[in-house]
Amino acid sequence: MTKGTVPFVTTPFVTPFVTPFVTPVPFVTMEATMYYTSIYPSPVGTLALACDDKGLVGLWLDGQKYHGDGVPGPLQTKDDEPLLVAAKQWLDEYFAGGNPPISSLPLAPIGSAFRQGVWELLCEIPYGEVTTYGALARQMEVRMNKPKMACQAVGGAVGHNPISIIIPCHRVVGTNGSLTGYGGGIQRKIQLLELEGVDMSQYFVPTKGTAL
């Protein structure tokens, strides 16, 4: 894989797993975590952003599968929340054709150790390039020291990515060139890849599959 901007130091999987994303503070009081949200109008439709006081926990496209999935509390609208403002500035640069570093934003996606590992790999896919579900599965085999990793398991983790666009799950395609498997819809996946300058002539839209 071509060297690209990596938002954190990549470390091998160990037991117990230590996530490279923002680590939640251990529970010490009865005070509930607050989750904030704001809307961002974009060229691919309305985006919903969400964060806690540590980092970004969600970015969902309008109508996306698993919208709000994983956030354990209610979302309070707060347009001036600094983390959400920073995420909007990141999106401004991205949709203007720039390549803002993922590392400029504190990310705190909520998910299992396995899913966190897959999302980490997604962040390593360079801007304007793609990888396959099979390639991700092979990388997870090495990191978890397992002889075999099912592409379906990796695909499930990719599909449940809660921070779309910024954690670039749209850069994953089928081994045969199929554009299947994007929760925000195939046309939006195409828009994002075209924005990044990917040559789309080698890929195709499947006649059936997920998130068509």
| pLDDT by position in tens, the chain (length 212) | 444 433 333 333 333 334 457 655 444 444 678 999 999 999 999 999 999 999 999 999 998 877 877 788 899 999 999 999 999 999 999 999 999 999 999 999 999 999 999 999 999 999 999 999 999 999 999 999 988 888 889 999 999 999 999 999 999 999 999 998 788 899 999 999 999 999 999 999 988 755 43
Q: What is the pLDDT of residue 29?
A: 45
Residue pointed to by tokens 């006649």 = 207
Catalytic residue among 51, 123, 151, 169: 169
Query: Is 16 among the domain residues?
Result: no
Q: What is the pLDDT of residue 15?
A: 33
C-alpha neighbours within 13 Å on the C-beta side of residue 146:
13
CA proximity to 21, closest of 171, 130, 163: 163
What lies within 8 Å, CB to CB, of 144 at 6+ separation is 13, 117
Query: Is 22 among the domain residues?
Result: no
Write out the residue range of the structural domain in which residue 49 sits: 35-167
Q: What angle do CA 159, 164, 169 make, to 5 degrees?
A: 50
Query: Is 28 among the domain residues?
Result: no
Total number of domains constituting the chain:
1
151 is catalytic: no
Q: How far apart are CA 20 and CA 106, in angstroms?
A: 11
Q: How far apart are CA 193 and CA 128, in angstroms?
A: 7
Q: What is the pLDDT of residue 181?
A: 75
Q: What is the pLDDT of residue 31?
A: 65
C-alpha 90 chain-centroid distance:
14
Query: Is 72 among the domain residues?
Result: yes
**Diameter of the chain measured on Cα atoms:** 55
Strand ranges, E, within the chain:
35-42, 45-51, 56-61, 75-77, 131-132, 172-173
Q: How far apart are CA 129 and CA 3, in angstroms?
A: 11
Strand ranges, E, within 52-203:
56-61, 75-77, 131-132, 172-173
Query: Is 205 among the domain residues?
Result: no
Tokens linked to 93: 């640069």
Q: How far apart are CA 117 and CA 39, in angstroms?
A: 28
Query: Is 200 among the domain residues?
Result: no
Q: How far apart are CA 94 and CA 117, in angstroms?
A: 24
Query: Is 96 among the domain residues?
Result: yes
Query: Is 204 among the domain residues?
Result: no
Q: How far apart are CA 20 and CA 122, in angstroms?
A: 13
